[in-house]
Structure 1
Amino acid sequence: MNTPVPSPLIDARQLALDTALQLLQQAGAYLPEAEPYSAEWLQGVLDALCDLSSKDALTGLVNRRSFEMAMAREIDRVARSGEPALLLVLDIDHFKAVNDTHGHAAGDLVIQAVSRAISDVVRPMDTVARVGGEEFAIILPNCPSSFGQTVAERMREQVARLPVEVAPGKSISVTISVGGAFAPQWVRSSSLLWMERADRQLYRAKAEGRNRTCMEAQMESLVSAEEKGMLFAATQLQDSE
């Protein structure tokens, strides 16, 4: 049996990093104060690129791709542990009117202010993401059902009382609509089904007048036909092994 010959290590200075370094510089990323192309310096470049690819550029929150990965991990954890997990989705109310009246730069300031406000009322273990233009989502692991409405209302109130300065001497107030749903416990579900449940509550909050929170009742958090199919498929797979 022939032993494979390991490929020779290349000199790090042969790597074409100009584009990556320009991207990090434009994003304001910090690199370690180490000898360029040393192991410590290269690790810093890789870490900064990973951080940049997982964060929303405007708010610094987790971006949609990373959030979907976090949702998948949480769905798996809930299925194995049975611990409750809450998903909140929220929209800034009448956001188009903000852009039309005050300009897109003001819209960006509103998005940043809302992102800070909702981040201030969650736990370090929670995951807050910007998943669209004026859309945010939060995963709250190990969140009891009795606490769901409370934390959603706390976010809504935090935003509602926040003045956002959109120009020198000019502040406006904005509100949010929030929808929430718990992941089904002990059930192999999917991120898509969980998000659909929370979205239904968000649409209900908007339909009922906005600036409110709507939560899926625990008694309604039943196993859907799709989830039953996933559960039975997993059981049959285990039986055949």
Structure 2
Amino acid sequence: MTPRTKRIVGKSLVVTIIAVVATFGLSFTARLALQMPIDWLSWVECTFIPILIGMPVSAYIFTQSETIQDSCDKLEKSHAALTEAHDRVSFVTSHDPMTGLLSRGGFMARMDRSRDEGECDTLLLIDPDHFSSINDRHGHSKGDEVLVRIAKALVYTTRPGDSVGRLGGEEFGVLLHGVRKEQAGTIAENIRRLIEGLPRVKGQQDGVKVTVSIGGAEIARDADTQDVLRTAGRCLFEAKQRGRNRVSFDYEASKLRIVTP
């Protein structure tokens, strides 16, 4: 006998016994009140009628109850599995598989959300120096190792509420929430120094020294996202032009505002 059957039979027996006792009590009380005789037929009626009626009815009810509960349990498990699958798909579509950072789409969505909320944030664009030569001299596997190291350094130097993403190729983005240009410059410099101080990546012939150039732009509340990216990109290009391994905030995002016709 399965546990499910045992539960149904046990509950049905309890209900049937209660029905028999209740029938005896009501029937005998009524007979005594009406001064009717209590004969053997009364005992048979009070015993078998509740059993013949109560046992099948209660068994049917409890069987349906168990069936409904099983269906609810299956639905709950299916919902949990569907939610888990949805979370996995959402993570995969919004995150870079190699570094675990936000993908470009996920990062841009964070930027749009931040702009809509009206916060004063700052965008940093980080790009490793001489990355193409690292791939050419030491292979793409070493280039991937450099990118993973940079990603870990960015996560380490930013706060839990900040957004860090890989925007494509070797370019990274950091969205510093509630941080203005002056404080963002200090954070960017800390990022640059941390990456510069990382141990060399073992190459085929010699170690690979990793440095990055960083361009930053403060995001005005009415700024267009693409304008902010272009401004930070110009600052990044300026840092490269000035010798690499440095931070540049030469362009102000506040100058790029949406002009209403």
- Higher fraction of helix: 2
1:175-194 matches, within 5 Å, as 175-185=211-221, 188-194=222-228
Alignment correspondent of 2:259: 228
Helix, strand or coil for the counterpart of 1:129? Answer: strand
Alignment correspondent of 1:56: 96
Q: Which residue, 209, 215, 226 being the options, matches 2:249?
A: 215
**Larger RCO (CA within 8 A; separation ≥ 6):** 1
1:81-120 matches, within 5 Å, as 83-120=119-156
Alignment correspondent of 1:11: none
| Percent identity of paired positions between Structure 1 and Structure 2 | 33
Give the number of equivalent residue pairs: 188
Helix, strand or coil for the counterpart of 2:179? Answer: coil
How far has the Cα of 1:171 moved from its partner? 3.9
Alignment correspondent of 1:238: none
Alignment correspondent of 1:201: 235
Helix, strand or coil for the counterpart of 1:228? Answer: coil
Instruction: Show CA shifts across 1:47-94 (max 9, x none).
Output: 11111111101100000011111111112223xxxx421000011000
- Residue range with higher mean Cα deviation, 61-70 or 188-197: 188-197
Q: Which residue, 68, 74, 77 being the options, matches 2:114?
A: 74
Q: TM-score, normalised by structure 2?
A: 0.67
Alignment correspondent of 1:134: 170
Pair member with larger Rg: 2
Helix, strand or coil for the counterpart of 1:38? Answer: helix
Q: TM-score, normalised by structure 1?
A: 0.72
Could you tell me which runs of 5 or more consecutive residues in structure 2 were left unpaired when the two chains were aligned.
1-73
RMSD between superposed Cα atoms in Å: 2.4
Distance in 1 (alpha carbons) for counterparts of 2:147 and 2:76: 37
Distance in 1 (alpha carbons) for counterparts of 2:120 and 2:169: 29
Any conservation in 2 of the 1:85–1:139 contact (CA below 8 Å)?
yes
Could you tell me which runs of 5 or more consecutive residues in structure 1 were left unpaired when the two chains were aligned.
1-33, 234-241
Distance in 2 (alpha carbons) for counterparts of 1:126 and 1:135: 17
Any conservation in 2 of the 1:113–1:164 contact (CA below 8 Å)?
no
Any conservation in 2 of the 1:197–1:216 contact (CA below 8 Å)?
no
